[in-house]
Amino acid sequence: MRRSSILSLVISTALGIAIVSDGDDDWTGFGTWGLVACALVYLVAGLLRAEVRRTRLVWAQVAGVVGFGAVAGIALLVDPEVGRYLVAAGWLAHAGWDLAHFRANLVVPTWYALACAVVDAFVGVSLAW
């Protein structure tokens, strides 16, 4: 594992712990819209880095934004307890999205994808807990 990946794991673990230990149980703020923002980062970063030159990659990133946005929107419309678990599942799914990008070494730098996977997993588990 490269040094940048190890540093990424250490920093993202600390950040994940800080996010989930704030004691804020309101998942409708950062919990919901942070999910959409994370998906947007991949689209924008990929476009800025010219990593999504292939049409298929562009559409995959757009589908990610739409999909995670739909999860966030639906979570706000259903019963709050169901919505909380839906958002938690969305964060865990985004951690998988991150790992797919990490393994493919596409769209964003690998250190970012790895860090995002760790933070997303922390947030998803904390919401489900």
Per the listing, tokens 């250190």 go with: 111
Question: Which residues, at least 6 apart from 106, have a Cβ–Cβ distance to it below 8 Å?
Answer: 46, 51, 57
Contacts of 65 (CB under 8 A, 6+ apart): 36, 39, 40, 42, 43
Select from 42, 58, 54 the least CA-distant residue to 109. Answer: 42
**Pair 119, 15: CB distance under 8 Å:** yes
Give residue-wise pLDDT tens across range 44-91.
988 888 876 777 888 999 999 999 999 999 999 999 999 999 999 999
Over the chain, what is the mean pLDDT? 85
pLDDT > 90? residue 7: no
pTM of the model: 0.84
User: Cβ atoms within 10 A of the Cβ of 84, count?
Assistant: 20
